[in-house]
Amino acid sequence: MSADTSAAIGPVEGGSHYDVENPAPYIEAPRKRTGKTPRATRGNFEMAAWLFMRLSGVVLVVLVLGHLLIQLFLDGGVSKIGFAFVAGRWASPFWQVWDLLMLWLAMLHGANGLRTVINDYAERANTRLWLKGLLYTATVFTILLGTLVIFTFDPNIR
């Protein structure tokens, strides 16, 4: 406080400036963790989900754009796709791992995104419960189905 301001106000009744001899009362910081603070019950799930969206997002940019380039752009685009083309690509472990990683990351990334959308727009607790139940069921089913297809693919099925 500048000198001219305090001069204009005059001495405050019964008060003096805080100094080493006269310290201000200690006020504990809000939400400070102390021995009496109850243990966190929710953990860091939402933070982990937030981080997962960014990490998986960067990887998916490479995996998905590479996938699009091969399937829809190069070598005749969609016209060349067929059982023989799939068999040729999954003969290589590299593309099996590529597709497996893409399947898992994209499904989990999309499921978490839709979970956020449901939380935002479904106002009744019961509606959220059912929509998320449906979402998780469909997600688990699709991930397992896709994984099974990649691992059990048989080029000589016929």
Partner 1 sequence: MPAGTLYRGREGMWSWVAHRVTGVLIFFFLFVHVLDTALVRVSPEAYDEVVATYKTPIVALLEYGLVAAILFHALNGLRVIAVDFWSKGPRYQKQMLWTVVGIWVVLMAGSLYPVLGHAARELFGS
Task: Look up residue 14 and give its two tokens.
Answer: 């019964």
Q: Mind giving me the DSSP string for 7-41?
A: HHH-PPTT-----SSSPPPP-PPTT---TTSPPPS
CB of 35 to partner 1, least distance (A): 34
Q: Which stretch binds partner 1 (CB under 8 A): 9-17, 39-47, 81-89, 126-134?
A: 81-89
* φ and ψ at residue 14, rounded to 5 degrees: 65, 10
Is 97 a binding residue for partner 1 by CB under 8 A? The answer is: no
For the chain, the maximum distance between any two Cα atoms, rounded to a whole number of angstroms, is: 99
Interface residue with partner 1, options 91, 129, 134, 145 (CB under 8 A): 145
Distances (CA, A) of 51 to 42, 55, 57: 17, 6, 10
Give the nearer residue to partner 1 in terms of CB position, either 64 or 101.
64
Binding site for partner 1 (CB under 8 A): 54, 57-58, 60-61, 64-65, 68, 72-74, 76-79, 81-84, 86, 103, 106-107, 110-111, 113-114, 117, 138, 142, 145-146, 148-149, 152-154, 157-158
